[in-house]
Amino acid sequence: MSDYQNTLQYAQQQDQADPLRPFRDRFLIPHKAGQPQEGLPLTYLCGNSLGLQPVAAREALSRELDIWQNHGVEGWFEGEEPWLYYHRYCKEPLARVVGALPSEVCPMNNLTVNLHLMLTSFYRPTAERFKVLTIASDFPSDQYALETHVRARGYDPDEVLVEVRPRAGEYTLRMEDILQAIDAHADSLALVVMSGLHYYTGQVLDMPAITQHAHQYDIPVGFDLAHAVGNYPVQLHDWQVDFAVWCSYKYLNSGPGGASGIFVHEKHHQAHLPRLAGWWGYQEERRFEMTKGFVPMAGADGWQVSTPTILSLAVHRASLAIFEEAGMKELRAKSERVTGYLVYILREINHTYGNPVTIMTPANANERGCQLSLLVEERGKALFDELVRNGIIGDWREPNCIRLAPTPLYNTFEEVWRVGQVLDHFYSQI
C-alpha cells in the first residue's frame, strides 16, 4: 500500500492504532537466551507451523485436571460441564471460524485420521467414476493418505490420482488449470480434494469456484484447511463444500498435536453415507446401552470414532474463546495490513540489493493468508540462520524456502520492520 513507510516510528504508530493490539498479551511469547538483545521476546513468525500458547491454556488444563482429581470417572457426568458433552462446548465458536452451522462441525481426532474418515464417506468409486483430482506437491500427509486410501480400496494410485501442478517456471497454481482439469476428467472423477491454502507457497485457492465447478458434474469436493483455518476467512456452508478437515495447532493455537476438526455439509446429514464408526459417534442418549448395530449421532457428530481427548479440547476451547472475542473479520483486516507491510519491506530489500528474495506467495491479498513463502536461491540457509540469531523465528523448507507468517493475534508491525532490518544488514555485508 502507498502509505507504508520503512521506519520504526511508522511501525510503532501502526501498532498503537491497532485495535487488536491487546490480544498479544493473551499469548505467551517465547524468550530465548543468547540472542543479541538478551531477555527480549522472540519475534515469532511461525504460527503457520505451531501457534503460540494462550495464557488461558494453563487455567483451562488445570480446571479439567481438578475435575479428574476430584471426580475421577464421574467427571464424564458430573458438574456444570460434564466431559460427556465437551465437543459441544467448541461447536458454536468453531462454526463461526469456518462459516458453518454448529451441526456441521465437530472437533475430534487428528487431521489425517479425519481425512481418511471423510474419504471413506465421500470417495465412492464406480466402474466409470473412480479418479480423484488433487494438486501436486500437496502436504505430504495428504498425499500419503490419498495414495494409501485408494490402494486399500483396490485401485492403483497412479491410475486414480489426477494431479494439477503449476506451469513450468511458475510457483503457484492457476485456477483455470484446476477448472480445466475438472472438465477434462469429469466423466471419470469421483472426488475433488485438496488443500484450500497451500502449505509451501501460501497460495489460497478459489474454494467456492472449485466447488461450484465440480458440482456441475455432481462431483463432491473436500478441502484440507490446515493452513487456512483461523487464518483465511472461509464460508464452508454457503460455498456448499461437501466436507473439510483441519488441525488446530497452527493458527488456532490449541497446542502441539491439538484436536482436529471436521465439517460435513448439512445436505449430507440425512444421507446413508458409508463410514468407519466407533462408539463415540453412536447416538449419545443410548451410547452406554452397549447395543449391537451402529446408529450415528445427528450431523457431523456422527463421524466421531473414539473417546475425545478432554485435555486437548480444553486448550482448544480456550483458544476459540479468543477468536470469538477478536472476530474473524477484524483478524482478516489486520492480517491483510500487516502481511502487506512485510511485502512492502521485502520489496524495499529487493529494490536495494538486486532482487535476492522471490516472494512465491501471490501478490493479490485475496489469494493469500498471513504467510509469505520466500524463495532465496543464494545463501538462503545462511539468511535463515541470521534471522534466528537475531531472534526471528520462521521456518525453513528445503531446499531454499523461508516461510514467515505475521499472525494478527500476536504479531506486530514493529516485528515486521525488524525483519527488514536484519535482511538489510545481511545483504549489506555481502
Q: Residues 351, 418: one domain?
A: yes
- Torsion from C-alpha of 376, 377, 383, 387, nearest 10 degrees: 30
Residue 143 and residue 218 share a domain: yes
Q: Are residues 284 and 179 in the same domain?
A: yes
- Domain match, 36 and 69 both: no
User: What is the spatial distance between Cα 343 and Cα 345, in angstroms, rounded to a whole number?
Assistant: 5
Among the candidates 271, 297, 326, a domain finishes at 326
Q: Which three cell numbers stand for residue 298?
A: 445427528
SS3 204: strand
Output the domain CATH number for residue 157.
3.40.640.10
Q: Is residue 399 reached through a cis peptide bond, with omega within 30 degrees of 0 on the bond before it?
A: yes
Q: Per the domain annotation, does 54 fall within a domain?
A: no
What is d(CA 313, CA 316) in angstroms, rounded to the nearest whole number? 5
What is the per-residue pLDDT for 30? 93
Tell me: do 25 and 118 sit in the same domain.
no
Return the residue matching grid coordinates 478432554. Answer: 310
Range of the domain at 281: 60-326
In a domain, 141, yes or no: yes
* Distance of alpha carbon 338 from alpha carbon 406, whole angstroms: 7
Closest CA to 294 of 310, 311, 280: 280
Quick check: is 316 in a domain?
yes
Per-residue pLDDT of 269-302, as tens digits, reads 998 899 999 999 999 999 999 999 999 999 999 9
Q: In the listed set 279, 309, 326, which residue is the last one of a domain according to the structure?
A: 326
In terms of domains, do 128 and 228 share one?
A: yes
**Last residue in a domain, options 297, 326, 355:** 326
Grid coordinates in use for 42? 522472540
pTM of the complete model: 0.96
Give the H or E element holding residue 78. Answer: none
Query: Which H or E run contains 368?
Result: none
- The C-alpha atoms of residue 281 and residue 20 are separated, in whole angstroms, by 38
In this structure, are 40 and 65 located in the same domain?
no
CA distance 422 to 195: 32
pLDDT mean by block of 10 residues, the chain; 430 residues: 89 98 97 63 96 98 97 95 96 98 98 98 98 96 98 97 98 98 98 98 98 98 98 98 98 97 97 94 92 95 97 98 98 98 98 98 97 97 97 95 98 98 96
Write the pLDDT tens digit of every residue in 8-55.
999 999 999 999 999 999 999 998 755 555 567 899 999 999 999 999
State the total domains in the chain: 2
What is the C-alpha to C-alpha distance for residues 82 and 75, in angstroms, rounded to an integer? Answer: 6
- Cβ pair 240, 215 in contact under 8 A: yes
342 and 280 in a common domain: no
Sign of CA dihedral 338, 343, 344, 345: positive
Given a contact cutoff of 8 angstroms between Cβ atoms, the answer to whether 50 and 377 are in contact is: no
